[in-house]
């Protein structure tokens, strides 16, 4: 029980980190493009 719990936490952390990284990678160029268009 504790083994599966210890194994699940890093997976959730990895998915959470990958989701943030993916959103950052996709969002940063969009934000820069919007800022560039508004200037």
Q: What is the phi-psi region of residue 34: left when phi exceeds 0, alpha when psi lies from -120 to 50, beta otherwise? A: alpha
pLDDT at position 11, please? Answer: 81
> What confidence tens digit (pLDDT) does each residue in 12-38 have?
889 889 999 999 999 999 999 999 999
Q: How many helices (H) and strands (E) does the chain have?
A: 1, 0
pLDDT band for position 9 (50/70/90)?
A: confident
pLDDT at position 7, please? Answer: 64
């Amino acid at each position: 029980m504790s083994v599966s719990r210890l194994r699940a936490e890093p997976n959730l952390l990895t998915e959470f980190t990958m989701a943030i990284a993916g959103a950052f990678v996709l969002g940063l160029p969009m934000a820069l493009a919007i800022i560039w268009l508004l200037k």
